[in-house]
Amino acid sequence: MTTITRFAPSPTGRLHVGNIRTALHNWMVAQKNGGKFMLRIDDTDPERSKEEYVEAIRADLAWLGLHPDGEERQSQRLAYYEAAFDRLVEAGRLYRCYETAQELDLKRKVLLGRGKPPIYDRAGLDLTDADHAAKEAEGIRPHWRFKLDHAEMIDWNDGVRGPQKFDPAMLSDPVVRREDGSWLYMLPSAVDDIEMGITDVLRGEDHVSNTAVQVQMFRALQAADDDDCTIASACPHFAHEALLVGKEGKLSKRLGSLGCDAFRERDIEPQAIIALLARLGTSQPVEPIADMQVLLDTFALESFSRAPAKFDDAELDRINTALVHQMEYEQVKHRLPEGMGEEAWHAVRPNLETVSGAHDYWKIVTGPIDLPDFSEDDRAYLKLAAETLAWGDNPWGDLTGALKQETGRNGKALFLPLRQALTGQHSGPDMGELLPVLGEDTARRRLERAAG
């Protein structure tokens, strides 16, 4: 069977780092198994869903290199949900309820006060035809719940958490449709996973109880069409990964707002995000790996930890810097300042944290630069340097070698005044690589200017 995974965001906001991690891991499951990665836009909430967010989701996935093999939108699949709804009503697996949010909240508080789990009491099942008619006469519309089968224990072998087992009697029958006819997450998601042929669902551990309910939904939906179905044929393979937390070890609201826009503003490379999130929360070491195939070859759900995965900006910066140091000129030339060639890129690359940092170093090359106040002795030294400068295959080595022999200077006294005169900086790129980029004429003029 072809592996088919899906990423199913709601277009009610921008993707954040937790969403990105989920999308990446589903993409990796598909890629590793030669399968398909589907994007499903869960836009059944017309009040909160916005087209600008749909476009942003597509753009962010493309920027990260996570290209879906197909896209579906729930707003265009309502007929599927209606058909499934009718079948489940006929099969007796959906029932009408009328409690208000306040009434349900009161019931929960009473149960908690008695030390009992706050599970829905199934009062809707006790309503008669006359009760329903009376509600309808009053203009009160029902919401609908899925009736869990208490006789059927729920279990599955989770790809991350291992064997899972739930007693359905300890779960509330979930609401699947609101009074206004709109859908909640549970039923449309299960309908889509069946109809789209989804084989693997990898999501956060906050969905574990949802999965327990959906296992029975899958069976009920399949049973409505095929009395001989089994849970194995009805359900995808489920895996639930630990959620991301901040470096302080607590759930961070900031992670909910940290997305691709924020990464782009910091000039973080997409591959740095991929390299970090691919292994964050696993037993694999987080390393600056530019080759996606290496990450795929070492990706395994068995390596995922049950402990929360800690996201640290400093670690992302470290990965990003290391990847920038690996980048060749052809990869970045369209992002470099005009006139900056391969020689200049290789000169400044070891000193960069981001590609955009090359612009600052190019300003050193093109000038003008600000000079420090040199001592009289250093000015005389720089005058000698301007006279000694000769251009060959190794102008920096030739210059410093001649000056060392002529003046007896070495170490900081030999090198620092020259760097300051040529770049206006106390530190920076290797001068052996940078001096040829400056060129003989510029170098001589700067030495003469510093000498006064």
Is 253 annotated as belonging to a binding site? Answer: yes
Q: Where do we find the tokens 């709601």?
A: 10
- Taking alpha carbons only, the member of 215, 311, 299 closest to residue 254 is 311
At 146, the amino acid letter reads F
Question: Both tokens of residue 106?
Answer: 């009161």
CA 72 – CA 38 distance, rounded (Å): 8
CA 159 – CA 239 distance, rounded (Å): 4
CA 58 – CA 189 distance, rounded (Å): 20
How many whole angstroms from its chain centre is CA 19?
5
CA 276 – CA 280 distance, rounded (Å): 6
* Cα dihedral across residues 334, 340, 342, 348: positive or negative: negative
Residues 37 and 244 sit within 8 Å (Cβ to Cβ) = no
φ, ψ (nearest 5 deg) of residue 141: -95, 145
Element holding 38 (H helix, E strand): strand 36-41
Contacts of 253 (CB under 8 A, 6+ apart): none
CA 45 – CA 50 distance, rounded (Å): 9
φ, ψ (nearest 5 deg) of residue 310: -95, 120
Residues 317 and 262 sit within 8 Å (Cβ to Cβ) = no
Element holding 146 (H helix, E strand): strand 143-146
Q: 204 by DSSP, 3-state: which?
A: strand
Can you give the length of the chain in residues? Answer: 452
Element holding 145 (H helix, E strand): strand 143-146
Question: Both tokens of residue 116?
Answer: 């009992």
How many whole angstroms from its chain centre is CA 370?
42
Annotated binding site: 253
Annotated binding site for ATP: 253
